[in-house]
Structure 1
Amino acid sequence: MAKFTTWDGLQLNYRVWGGDRLPVVLQHGIVADTNANWMSTGVVAALESAGHKVISLDARGHGRSEKPRDPSRYTWQAMASDVRALFDELGLDQVALVGYSMGAIISLQVADQDERITRLAIGGIGSGVIDCGGIDERVIAADDIVAAMRGDGTETKRLASIFRLLADAVGADHDAIAAVATGLNEAPIRGVAHLAMPALVLAGASDPFAAEPDRLAAAFPDARLAVVPGDHLTAITDPGFAAALVEFLR
């Protein structure tokens, strides 16, 4: 594990695994971290076995990275700038970028701004990117996640409660996650039709947050779709998820 100082002075944690093939940078979902999203699910091991240099960033407010509780520190642009700052820190000039859920939205914004992305894989999101410009607010709203982090069970939608369960399981800072959810309140994506790099859309067959992934894949100039068994939390643990990712990067 290592830390670096990002563009606005926060200390962010990242991990690197060896390999000499195309570097793969991983960005996890909200509440999760490097271990929960990528290591414990077998994704890191699969990529490392395929010979890739694997790099995973703990997003601000998550994992071992610094966790301010001011929502203004958590915008999509701030998160995307952190990923680009990591590229600079490590001297990366060509990168495959992989994001899941929140990390997928961040990855789309990075790909919109950074020519170093040669391949892009996004999971846990679907037609909300096209219809809502980011997270599918028809399924979940930021206020639902905030209520879940504060333990307002009577006001928390069932889908938001899974993020509280995950937060408790990984030891996340509830107040920091509430600030993240509050801060990420803009629609950051201006479409994907201009993203020319090869792309992969990964989705769980029963993931409500990744509805109509075929529509999302079809919106890219060059994308393929892989649907695996599972919901938002379990799809990434299916062996087919890592296998599809490795095949895409081959």
Structure 2
Amino acid sequence: MPTFSHGSVEIAYLDEGQGDPIILIHGFASSKDVNWAQTSWFTTLKSAGRRVIALDNRGHGQSAKLYDPAEYHTAKMASDVRALMAHLGIGRADVMGYSMGARITAFLALESPELTRSIVLGGLGIHLVEGVGLPESIADAMEAPSLADVTDAQGYAFRAFADKTKSDRRALAACIRGSRQEMTREQVGSIKTPTLVAIGTRDLVAGSPDRLVALMPNARSLPIPDRDHMIAVGDKVYKAGVLEFLAERP
């Protein structure tokens, strides 16, 4: 498993295939493997002639585990992506993030537009600018003595997922407390990068895709029929829509 150091933080990543690069940024409590490899995104994108790069966000997967919420500010996690691109000598790429990864992607496009040829925001709509999406109470679920002690439905789902993936729950608690930054409408409106907002029609976490698209000068939405926040990421409609979107920029 290749790794690199961004300051004192070791970041694990995968780099496979040949062609135009696309960088994948996973969601909260997930990993590059769970979010992208196990859902066949690597296979799909490589078959389309793409070089596919995915990192484990700090606190997740095989990357360094940090326990100070301040270390998980979304801008800091976006800087990990910037550092990975520099490490690999990539000056510009398509970038796709899901849920928390979509928030990181948006911050990257805001702060370093020259690096992003296009962006895909999966599982994140208007909650980029209002309501955040995942509640901080998920941190309490991560710190509960056992899954049986979690009474909140959303907290229960994420705690069960973290237990299944054998994640560092203390690091995840710090992450959810530190990474829930919103953008202003003005900031979102300044992102001129071509953008696809892909959200399941049963997603209760992301917020409205159409309200976010209305704020952005170069964005459109992709509804993923009958999928909620947890299962939309592997959907065939999502994959087909992303491939079509990417093909628009030769």
Q: Distance in 2 between matches of 1:188 and 1:216?
A: 11
In structure 2, the residue matched to 1:176 is 171
Q: SS at the partner of 1:203?
A: strand
CA RMSD of aligned residues (A): 1.6
Q: Is the 8 Å Cα contact of residues 130 and 191 (structure 1) preserved in structure 2?
A: no
Deviation at 1:245, TM superposition (A): 1.0
Q: SS at the partner of 2:21?
A: strand
Q: Which amino acid aligns with 1:13?
A: A
Q: Distance in 1 between matches of 2:207 and 2:13?
A: 30
1:121 matched to 2:120? The reply is yes
Deviation at 1:218, TM superposition (A): 2.1
In structure 2, the residue matched to 1:70 is 68
Q: Is the 8 Å Cα contact of residues 147 and 156 (structure 1) preserved in structure 2?
A: no
Q: SS at the partner of 2:229?
A: coil
Deviation at 1:69, TM superposition (A): 1.7
In structure 2, the residue matched to 1:150 is 143
Q: Is the 8 Å Cα contact of residues 12 and 66 (structure 1) preserved in structure 2?
A: yes
Deviation at 1:154, TM superposition (A): 5.4
In structure 1, the residue matched to 2:4 is 4
Deviation at 1:72, TM superposition (A): 2.3
Per-residue CA distance 1:130-153 (angstroms, 9 max, x = gap):
334xx23xxx421x1111111266
Unaligned 5+ runs, structure 1: none
Q: Distance in 2 between matches of 1:70 and 1:220?
A: 33
Q: Which amino acid aligns with 1:141?
A: P
Q: SS at the partner of 2:108?
A: helix
Q: Which amino acid aligns with 1:37?
A: N
Unaligned 5+ runs, structure 2: none
Q: Is the 8 Å Cα contact of residues 46 and 243 (structure 1) preserved in structure 2?
A: no
Q: Is the 8 Å Cα contact of residues 12 and 60 (structure 1) preserved in structure 2?
A: yes
Q: Distance in 2 between matches of 1:171 and 1:78?
A: 24
Q: Which amino acid aligns with 2:24?
A: L
Alignment partner of 1:80 out of 73, 78, 84: 78
Give the 3 Å change call, closer, same or farther, for CA 67–188 of structure 1 in structure 2.
farther
Q: Distance in 2 between matches of 1:230 and 1:223?
A: 21
In structure 2, the residue matched to 1:54 is 52
Q: Which amino acid aligns with 2:227?
A: G
In structure 2, the residue matched to 1:232 is 229
Alignment partner of 1:215 out of 211, 214, 223: 211
Q: Is the 8 Å Cα contact of residues 110 and 187 (structure 2) preserved in structure 1?
A: no
Moved more, 49-58 or 163-172: 163-172
Per-residue CA distance 1:188-243 (angstroms, 9 max, x = gap):
55532111111100001111012211111222111121111311111112111111
Q: Is the 8 Å Cα contact of residues 21 and 93 (structure 2) preserved in structure 1?
A: yes
Report the TM-score when normalising by structure 2.
0.92
